[in-house]
């Protein structure tokens, strides 16, 4: 799994089983980290300052939403997570959303860009190529 210096950059797909995703480390994990870094650079605070893997997942879900069914399956298969459940009322808390937390420091295109990077489903997360096509980079990326 991803473990950059500092737990706050650990992706949901790299945290669910404590080891990383079944497919292993890849670009979606890097893109998640970029989203976390953009948030932290905007206000100086970690976006998901969890104290351990479970707290990390709780904070991610409070901010973004519930884990995907596949992530929950992988999470439940880890024997370390036996008997652990997440409170459904503790998911996607409006006042802790990306828009609520960063709407006063990031412009609309930046918020949308971060939202694309912090998709829980790694298949829906922005790729490097899709990032370059995002309105956030309009006027900054050459045509070739």
State the pTM of this model.
0.81
pLDDT (tens digit, 9 = 90+) per residue, 69-91? Answer: 988 998 899 898 999 989 888 89
Residues of the chain with pLDDT under 70: 1-24, 141-144
Per residue in 21-58, is it b (16+ CB within 10 Å) or e — as a string? Answer: beeeeeebbbbbbbbbbbbbebeeebbbebeebbebbb
pLDDT at position 136: 95
């Amino acid at each position: 799994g991803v473990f950059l210096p500092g737990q706050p950059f650990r992706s949901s797909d790299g945290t669910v089983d404590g080891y990383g995703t079944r497919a292993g480390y890849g670009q979606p994990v890097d893109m998640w980290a970029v989203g976390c870094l953009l948030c932290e650079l905007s206000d100086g605070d970690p976006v998901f300052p969890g104290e351990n893997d479970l707290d990390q997942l709780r904070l991610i879900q409070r901010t973004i939403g519930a884990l995907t069914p596949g992530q929950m399956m992988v999470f439940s298969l880890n024997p370390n997570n036996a008997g652990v459940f997440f409170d459904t009322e503790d998911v996607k808390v409006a006042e802790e959303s990306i828009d609520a937390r960063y709407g006063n420091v990031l412009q609309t295109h930046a918020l949308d860009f971060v939202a694309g990077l912090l998709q829980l489903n790694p298949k829906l997360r922005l790729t490097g190529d899709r990032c370059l096509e995002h309105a956030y980079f309009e006027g900054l990326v050459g045509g070739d």
